[in-house]
Structures are given as C-alpha cells and as structure tokens.
Amino acid sequence: MTHDMLSRSPAAKTAAEYLKGLSTLALRIDMEAAGQAAEEIAATLVAGGTVFVAGNGGSASTASHVVCDLLGTCRVTGHPHARVVGLADNPAVLTALANDTSFEEVFAHQVVLQAAPRGLLLLLSVSGKSSNLLRAAEAARAAGARVVAWVGVAASSLAKYCDVCVSVDSDDYGLTEDLHLALNHIVARRLCGGEPRRCGPS
C-alpha cells in the first residue's frame, strides 16, 4: 500500500477502493457483447420498434433512467417513432397484476399484451435469476421479440433466454448497477453516432 493510501481518511480510502473496483470491472466487460447489445437496442429504436425495460429494486430505478435517456436521445437524434416502455414505471399496473395474478407475472403479462416481433426486451439484474424477469424473457421470446440482459453474476439464469447477455462478472450490487448505467450511456452514444450527447440548458 502506498504512503498516499495510508495517509488518507477512512472515507477517502473507501472512495478510492470503490472507484478502483469500478474501473477494474469496467475494463473486464466483454466489449463485443456490450457493443452488440448497444447495437441491437439502437437498431430497434431507429427502426421504429419498441424497447421494453425492466428490473427490480435498484435495477428498476436504473431501468427508469434508461427509459428517460433513450427517449431523450431519440428525440434529439430525429427518431420520433421510437418507443421505450418502462415495465416497472406504473405502480398501479404493477400492483394490479401482482394482486390479480402473481408478482412473477408482472412483467411477462405486459410483454404478452404489447410485444411484437420488431420489439426488444432489455432486462437489468444483479443476480440474473429473478423469477419475474425470467418469465418476461420467456414471454418476449414467444412473441418473437429480441431479448438483451445486463447482469452482474456471470452464470446468470437469464443468459439462456437472451440474444445478448452482458455480464459485469460481479455480485456487488453497487458496482453492477453503476456499470449497467454506463452500458445505458453506451447505447445513447451509439444513437448519437458515437458522439457524446451534451447537456442542454437547465
């Protein structure tokens, strides 16, 4: 350990260790898989198809961020017919489906009603084994839609249902969720032709 590390406060050491872990995992991601996932999502939107996005807990929040970013990027890049639907964004729908069927079906039921062969389902999960995500993936495949997943654990149960599965190879939920957001920003940059999307006035 360097003298600089020893002289840092405990909080600074935590920050340094976390960011080091984040950068190490980021560089270990399969770039071909990350690029293919971004290309599949971007191509679906450019073609006027629908991208459905789902996750649980913190991944549900990241899924909502994905919806926001992709809709905004499609607007500024001139793809007005693109649709991005967050399957966890309507509490009334989620609670109704959970009450009337089961929580395992809350995403799958929405996919059955809305998915089409030109659509794509994007699933976010640290463990890659949530029952409601697995059921949604099955439903999407049955509808002829593409399935992409961003997961943490490499041996993900979701992988067998996916056309592309990108793993960050970690069960650390913080690092995994941070990198899933980075994968989202890669898609947005792909929609912008590889150029950064700059912030607007605020």
DSSP state for residue 116 in the 8-state scheme: -
Per-residue pLDDT at 1 exceeds 70: no
Q: How many domains does the chain have?
A: 1
Sheet holding 146-151, edge to edge: 83-86, 50-55, 120-125, 146-151, 164-167
CATH number of the domain within which 69 lies: 3.40.50.10490
The parent domain of residue 95 ranges over 31-191
Is 15 within the bounds of a domain? no
Q: Is position 196 within any domain?
A: no
pLDDT at 125: 96
In this prediction, residue 196 carries a pLDDT of 74
Is residue 8 domain-resident? Answer: no
Does residue 128 lie within any of the structural domains?
yes
Q: What percent of the chain has pLDDT over 90?
A: 80
Give the side-chain half-sphere CA count within 13 A for 10: 0
Domain annotation covers residue 3: no
Identify the band that residue 202 occupies on the pLDDT scale cut at 50, 70 and 90: very low
pLDDT digits (tens, 9 = 90+) for 33-80: 999 999 999 999 999 999 999 999 999 999 999 999 999 999 888 888
Band of residue 116 on the pLDDT scale cut at 50, 70, 90: confident
User: In 3D, which of 150, 169, 173 has the Cα closest to residue 41?
Assistant: 150
In a domain, 63, yes or no: yes
Structural domain contains residue 1: no
Greater confidence (168 vs 2) lies with 168
Q: Hunting for tokens 């989202």 — which residue is that? A: 184
pLDDT in tens, 133-166: 999 999 999 999 999 999 998 888 999 999 999 9
The residue with greater pLDDT, 80 or 126, is 126
Model pLDDT for residues 174-189, shown as the tens digit of each residue: 999 999 999 999 999 9
